[in-house]
């Protein structure tokens, strides 16, 4: 379910199959040439997922990202057990902005088609391939070199490398963990990286950290390392 004229227009322009759309009785912008149903304001509010409905809701078919086929020129943002839809949407948006090949969700990461994720992605969810796998081993079997992110040193993660010193060449995936627990120190990754920072805060919000990593990977892979 996609709400609001901006996101519905993004879905249409991305070629997403719109099944049907609903408009509030005082709304007159028919964005998709499909079956359209008019609802009174009370009914429209009852089906809307937002506090301030924008007058149009589209029911869309969830797109298929296709097979996981990668080249050495690709890099991925990998989300392990990320649970907050706002964070998920922001990370998808950052992945698109940084030119990632796509996003891979692992385990019980929040559904990428949750209405809150769609809104937080600002439409990026329609343009970025998103695959779901049960474990990181699946990505390793596809030849992806996995870089696990950590906010600090621990007994199980020995001296993570600074993000500024890491080699991001080849087919690589940057792995981000759960908001509360981070990435499991025993996760089957090929190396660990961290964002060095000052101040009392132990870590950055996962969406913020993921955005910093994504933009830095893009910078390095554009020949600026």
For 26, 119, 120, 132, 191, the CA distances from 148, given in Å and listed in that order, are 50, 27, 24, 18, 6
Picking from 7-16, 106-115, 135-144, 148-157, which range would have the lowest pLDDT averaged per residue? 148-157
Q: What residue spans of the chain are helical by DSSP H? A: 5-13, 41-47, 85-97, 115-120, 136-141, 206-219
Nearest to 172 by CA among 73, 35, 94: 73
Nearest to 4 by CA among 124, 128, 120, 119: 119
- The token pair at 100 is 């990632």
For residue 154, pLDDT over 60 is answered with no
Could you state, in order of their start, the residue ranges of all structural domains in the chain? 2-60, 75-224
Q: Which residues contact 105 (CB under 8 A, 6 or more apart)?
A: 79, 82, 112, 130, 131, 132, 133
Interatomic CA distance for residues 167 and 36, integer angstroms: 51
- Predicted confidence at residue 155, as pLDDT, reads 44
Q: What are 91-126's pLDDT values in tens digits? A: 999 999 999 999 999 999 999 999 999 999 999 999
- Predicted confidence at residue 213, as pLDDT, reads 96
Q: Among residues of the chain, what percentage have pLDDT more than 70?
A: 93
- Taking residues 76-103, report their average pLDDT: 97
- The token pair at 201 is 């805060």
User: Exposed, middle or buried by CB within 10 Å (0-12, 13-18, 19+), for 143?
Assistant: exposed
> Is 75-224 in CATH node 3.30.530.20?
no
Question: For domain 2-60, which CATH number applies: 3.90.1170.50, 3.30.1330.30, 3.20.20.80, 3.40.50.11540?
Answer: 3.30.1330.30
Q: Could you tell me which residue, 151 or 166, shows the higher pLDDT?
A: 166
Number of alpha carbons in the 13 Å side-chain half-sphere of residue 149: 31
Picking from 20-24, 27-31, 42-46, 150-154, which range would have the lowest pLDDT averaged per residue? 150-154
Do the beta carbons of residue 30 and residue 22 sit within 8 Å? no
- 75-224: same fold as 2-60? no
Q: What are phi and psi of 208, to 5 degrees?
A: -65, -45
Picking from 20-29, 79-88, 166-175, which range would have the lowest pLDDT averaged per residue? 20-29
Do the beta carbons of residue 121 and residue 92 sit within 8 Å? yes
For residue 28, pLDDT over 50 is answered with yes
For residue 184, pLDDT over 60 is answered with yes
Residue keyed to tokens 């809104």: 119
């Amino acid at each position: 379910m996609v709400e609001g004229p901006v996101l519905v227009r993004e879905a249409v322009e991305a070629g997403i199959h719109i099944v049907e759309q609903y408009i509030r009785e005082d709304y007159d912008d028919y964005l998709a040439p499909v079956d359209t149903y008019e609802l009174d304001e009370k009914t429209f509010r009852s089906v809307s997922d937002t506090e301030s409905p924008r007058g149009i809701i589209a029911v869309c078919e969830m797109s298929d990202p296709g097979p996981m086929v990668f080249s050495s020129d690709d890099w991925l943002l990998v989300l392990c057990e990320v649970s907050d839809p706002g964070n998920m949407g922001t990370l998808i948006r950052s992945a698109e902005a940084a030119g990632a090949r796509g996003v891979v969700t692992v385990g019980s990461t929040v559904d990428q088609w949750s209405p809150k994720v769609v809104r937080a992605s600002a439409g990026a969810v329609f343009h970025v391939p998103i695959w779901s796998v049960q474990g990181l081993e699946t990505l390793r079997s596809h030849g992806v070199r996995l870089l696990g992110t950590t906010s600090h040193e621990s007994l199980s993660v020995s001296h993570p490398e600074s993000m500024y010193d890491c080699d991001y060449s080849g087919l690589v995936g940057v792995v981000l963990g759960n908001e509360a627990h981070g990435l499991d120190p025993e996760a089957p990754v090929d190396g660990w990286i961290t964002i060095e920072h000052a101040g009392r805060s132990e870590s950055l919000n996962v969406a913020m950290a993921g955005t910093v990593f994504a933009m830095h990977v893009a910078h390095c892979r554009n020949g600026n390392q």
